[in-house]
Structure 1
Amino acid sequence: MQKDNKDNWTLVPKTEAEVAALRERCRGIVRRRAALAAGVSAVPIPGVDVVSDVALFTRLVEEINRSFGLTEAEIGRWQPEIRVMAYRAAAGVGGMLVGRLVTKELVLKILAKSGAKLAAKTTAKVVPLAGSIASAAIGFAVFRQMGYQHVEACAEVARQLLVAKTG
């Protein structure tokens, strides 16, 4: 959302069709970043993948928030009642990263929720070649799933704000 002289806010996607198109574009970005994360996961050095995942996911979340106009800075410019509506919508859809300043610590907390999968990914590295392949596959799946969840949360917040704007 950006400032608008008329009522002080405008959603970046202005129609449901724009929300849908933006959702698909962001899902493509998630797939590309997940593939990159998977490539790093295949490196047989424990710990490199986690550091890479945190950095890649932090940038991914920031890019998706920016695409939907749902960064902390953008939301901070809105009228207070619209800001509250956006944060309630984000909380309602489980969008912990929508409209928030994304830090590595916050991303680590999110990644920790996928702890079992990440532990399996790290453990798989001790098995030569097959372990690296398994680690890459798990890394891709976890990264993609988390990225898709964030895209869906942003799209749903955008849809709810569209309804509020037109309703």
Structure 2
Amino acid sequence: MIESPEELEAIRKSCHSMVTKSSSLSAGAAIVPLPGVDIVSDVAILMRLIPRINEKFGLSPEQIDSLDTEPKLFVMTTISNTGSKMAGKYITRKLILMLLKKMGFKGASKGAAKFVPFIGSALAGSISFSAMKYMGSRHIEDCYQIALATLENKQRESAVMVKPATEQASSITSDGSKETE
């Protein structure tokens, strides 16, 4: 479980680094002038990348299932409120393909660009890099917001649990028993 905003920020930076590396792999596959290689590659990259990001933020399905009822409910509600399509979910090829279809305009332009000699391959690689970077970064920001809200909620609950115990004033009554205000 993430314990501090500093730890959360370090996770965010680490995930952005992973996304940049994955985006470079996607761009490399897009340069190959064979139809479909880039899509198969993007699916494979995202099938590895998204679960790793979820896990780093404590948002894999297994991590969420291991939470107590109250924190689990809070996390699931926060995921729903952010509208994240991938946080806390088992990542399947079907889900990845659905998300890639939503970005279809980039895929179509990438596919058409491949047929323009030299410049087309570079353009396809550039489009692929940008699309992968966008998808990954968007997912990181969703996970970051969910994890931040969860951390803040945990800190609020801890403060509430500690506060009443420290604020309780007691006095001794005339019969010698303690009285709490």
TM-score using structure 2 length: 0.83
Q: How does 1:30-109 map to 2 (within 5 A)?
A: 30-109=19-98
Distance (Å, rounded) in 2 between the aligned partners of 1:62 and 1:77: 16
Query: Alpha-carbon deviations, 1:8-45, whole Å to 9, x = none?
Result: xxx2x210111111101100110011001100100001
Q: How does 1:1-167 map to 2 (within 5 A)?
A: 11=1, 13-167=2-156
Instruction: Report the equivalent of 1:5.
Output: none
Q: Return 5+ residue gaps in structure 2 as ranges.
A: 157-181
User: 3-state SS of the aligned residue for 2:100?
Assistant: helix
Query: Alpha-carbon deviations, 1:92-151, whole Å to 9, x = none?
Result: 222211010000110111111111011101111111211111100000000000000111
Instruction: Report the equivalent of 2:177.
Output: none
Distance (Å, rounded) in 1 between the aligned partners of 2:69 and 2:115: 52
RMSD in angstroms over aligned alpha carbons?
0.9
Number of matched pairs: 156
TM-score using structure 1 length: 0.90
Amino acid aligned to 1:18: E
Question: Greater CA radius of gyration, 1 or 2?
Answer: 2
Distance (Å, rounded) in 1 between the aligned partners of 2:101 and 2:72: 29
Q: Return 5+ residue gaps in structure 1 as ranges.
A: 1-10
Distance (Å, rounded) in 2 between the aligned partners of 1:123 and 1:87: 40
Distance (Å, rounded) in 2 between the aligned partners of 1:22 and 1:74: 16
Distance (Å, rounded) in 1 between the aligned partners of 2:32 and 2:85: 30
Work out the percentage of aligned pairs sharing the same amino acid.
35
Query: Alpha-carbon deviations, 1:51-89, whole Å to 9, x = none?
Result: 100110110001111111210011111122322211221
Amino acid aligned to 1:110: L
